[in-house]
Amino acid sequence: MRKLERLAINDEGFIFDPETGNSYTVNKTGLFIIKLLKEGKSEEEIVKALSEKFDVSEEDARRDLVDFIEQLRLYGLLEGENV
Amino acid sequence: MKEAYEKPVILKLKTGMMNKFGSSPAYIRKVRKEIDGVPVEELVEKFGSPLFVFSEKKLRQKFREVKNAFTLRYPNVEFSWSYKTNYLDAICAVLHQEGETAEVVSEFEYEKARRLGVPGNQIIYNGPYKPYDSLVTAVKEGARINIDHFEEIADLERVADELGVKPRVGIRLNMDTGIHPQWSRFGFNLESGQALDAVKRIASGGKLELVGLHCHIGTFILDPHAYEVEVKKMVDFAYKVEDQFGFKIEYLDIGGGFPSKNRLKGIYLPPEVAVPSVDEFAERVCSALLSSLRPGDYPKLILESGRAIVDEAGYLITTVHAAKRLPSGLKAYVLDAGVNILFTAFWYKFNVEIDREVHGTSEPCVLYGPLCMNIDVVDDLTYLPPLPRGTRLILSPVGAYNVTQWMQFIRYRPAVVLIGENGEVDLIREAEDLTDIVRREKLPERLKLEW
Ligand SMILES: Cc1ncc(COP(=O)(O)O)c(C=O)c1O
């Protein structure tokens, strides 16, 4: 979680990584997930939160979350140990 | 109430690339829910996925456009349908109804045209390999034969003796028109004098009547000027033959090669910009003819245009079977159609449309086919919003060369339907099943398994 905490994130979904100088954009759902990850929520909790807030089944939300986390890892925004 | 859901996406921003990402409005235009008024979903429900769909309306429209471009500019034109481009019965029948004759390059294509009811004298028989028996049939039935090499001259003289007739033939020429690669392996070379040698050889044999010249300079030719060169060289040669040998050249068959509105890989301009209009080709061809022909002489101009006529009439509906993330970070989709049925994917970048509105940011992705082969790539880089499993993609134009060069490899070949001008949908080729593949196989008795 340390890595995520260092990121500068604004409400429009613009993310800046001060360590590498890279910037990213996330959509609304992505931003929602990142906020929960920062709070240290588990995968299951995030799936639940997604299906409560958005019009999506838990099954679809789970599949998308796995893919999203995969993307964060590939960009080096998540360290291996969490989630 | 719950909020509308979008798949979560994160994109890395690269300077200078920003406008390529983001929710590009281009993709909103890329939604296609129907083909000629028939819903994509209805087609798939009835005929399965993947599914080739042809539009009869578009096919006839395109043919008429090409035909008009030439017939308005020259008084004696024949269109001959290049069977290899698409020899499905229904497609050929539409084009024969429109007045096209048949251009074939093998005994198989010849037989297919005859079976469909095309009379022999409405067939043009081309190609470097014409088995002897097929030449006998073609001569008997009055087909126009364009000779590819000296051996074929000898073969046809034998046929002449055997049947006691003097076949009327053409010769195929190859020449420098500024197009690379030069298709110099077919026919007789003009510049080297080989073509003239062929005429000498025919004249000295005395058994054949030379009445035509044929040439085909290549395919997906983007330079109309090449045709001007081709036509002028053919006319010059025709008069040389007439003056020196007394053969009257009755037809100049300039082959095919006009491009469709497809996107050749490596050409980054959109086809609307890169591909000249058919009128430009017609203008070059016909003004070259009219300026070099002798007064009052109007030999028949034959066109064997293939892809320009049928490519844009064909669509392929394919379904997203899975989404995955590659180690490079690139998104990948596995489709139910690959290079096994989309042979032209090796050279062209298709237009990709989605059957529904998908919300979310477009991201770079690669489209893979269903084969477990590394070469099975339908598109190596396109931009699509996150597609749920089951999304249909509509790829186009795919009407030329795919349903002839497709392979039965790993998977069965899918069904092909034709949407008629009144929206009627006809199955014109059934999806294959195991019986199609094993019908010709024989298992020796001693290898029968007893499990
Ligand atoms: C002799 C001949 N005629 C016509 C064609 C049709 O060409 P296109 O589809 O480029 O018009 C071909 C294609 O290779 C050909 O070889």
Residues A42-66: pLDDT tens digits? 999 999 999 999 999 999 999 999 9
- Judge contact between B100 and B81, C-beta under 8 A: yes
In which element (H, E) is residue B243 found? helix B225-245
Range from A9-13, A32-36, B130-134 carrying the lowest mean pLDDT: A9-13
CA distance B258 to B222: 7
The residue whose CB lies within 8 Å of the most ligand 1 atoms, and thus the one to mutate among B219, B262, B401, is B219
Mean pLDDT, range B415-432, rounded to an integer: 98
CA distance B195 to B184: 12
Question: What would the pLDDT profile of B57-96 be if each residue is shown by its tens digit?
Answer: 999 999 999 999 999 999 999 999 999 999 999 999 999 9
The phi and psi torsions of A29 (rounded to 5 degrees) equal: -65, -40
Whether residues B9 and A27 touch (CB distance < 8 A) is answered with yes
B221 CA closest ligand 1 atom index: 10
Q: What mean pLDDT, rounded, does chain B reach?
A: 94
Q: At what angle do helices B89-97 and B107-115 cross, to 10 degrees?
A: 70
- What residue segments make up the domains of chain A, in order of their start? 3-74
CATH of domain B56-308: 3.20.20.10
Number of helices (H) and strands (E) in chain A: give both, helices first: 4, 3
Of B5, B13, B329, the CB nearest to A56: B5
Of A22, A24, A64, the CB nearest to B7: A64
Of B81, B94, B21, B111, nearest in space to B365 by CA: B21
Name the closest-CA residue to atom 16, ligand 1: B216
Mean pLDDT, range B217-240, rounded to an integer: 96
Whether residues A71 and B329 touch (CB distance < 8 A) is answered with yes
The rounded Å distance from CA B302 to ligand 1 centre is 12
Of A24, A33, A64, the CB nearest to B11: A24
Whether residues B6 and A27 touch (CB distance < 8 A) is answered with yes
Q: Name the one residue in this structure whose structure tokens are 């001007």.
A: B228
CA distance A45 to B147: 76
pLDDT value for B180: 85
pLDDT band, very low/low/confident/very high, at B26 (cuts 50, 70, 90): very low
pLDDT value for A4: 83
Please list every residue in chain B whose beta carbon sits closer than 8 Å to the beta carbon of residue A72: 10
Q: To 5 degrees, how large is the angle CA B391–CA B313–CA B410?
A: 55
Residue B22 has pLDDT above 70, yes or no: no
Indicate the pTM of the whole model.
Answer: 0.85
Whether residues A54 and B3 touch (CB distance < 8 A) is answered with yes
Pocket of ligand 1 (CB under 6 A): B 82, 85, 103, 126, 216, 219, 255-258, 304-308, 400
**Residue B66: C-alpha distances to residues B20, B78, B113, B132 (Å):** 36, 12, 22, 35
Residue B160 has pLDDT above 80, yes or no: yes
Long-range residue pairs from A38-47, CB within 8 A, at least 24 positions apart, any chain: A38/A1, A38/A4, A38/A5, A40/A1, A42/A83, A43/A69, A43/A83
The rounded Å distance from CA B304 to ligand 1 centre is 6
Domain B34-53+312-438 has CATH 2.30.30.90: no
Question: What would the pLDDT profile of B328-362 be if each residue is shown by its tens digit?
Answer: 889 999 999 999 999 999 999 999 999 999 888 88
CA distance B125 to B139: 10
The ipTM of this complex is: 0.92
pLDDT value for A80: 62
Domain A3-74 has CATH 2.60.40: no
pLDDT band, very low/low/confident/very high, at A19 (cuts 50, 70, 90): confident
pLDDT value for B27: 39
Please list every residue in chain B whose beta carbon sits closer than 8 Å to the beta carbon of residue A52: 2
Question: What would the pLDDT profile of B373-404 be if each residue is shown by its tens digit?
Answer: 999 999 999 999 999 999 999 999 999 999 99
Mean pLDDT, range B135-164, rounded to an integer: 98
Range from B14-28, B191-205, B390-404 carrying the lowest mean pLDDT: B14-28
- Judge contact between B212 and B251, C-beta under 8 A: yes
Q: What percent of chain B stands above pLDDT 90?
A: 87
One-letter amino acid at B160 equals A
Mean pLDDT, range B41-53, rounded to an integer: 98
Residue B178 has pLDDT above 70, yes or no: yes
Q: Is A16 on the interface with B (CB under 8 A)?
A: no
What is the DSSP code string of B309-343? HHGGGEEEEEEEEEEEE-TTS-EEEEES--TTT-G
Longest dimension (CA), chain A: 36
- Judge contact between B394 and B40, C-beta under 8 A: yes
If one compares B298 and A75, the residue with the highest pLDDT of the two is B298
pLDDT value for B360: 82
Please list every residue in chain A whose beta carbon sits closer than 8 Å to the beta carbon of residue B3: 53-55
Residue B439 has pLDDT above 50, yes or no: yes
- What residue segments make up the domains of chain B, in order of their start? 34-53+312-438, 56-308
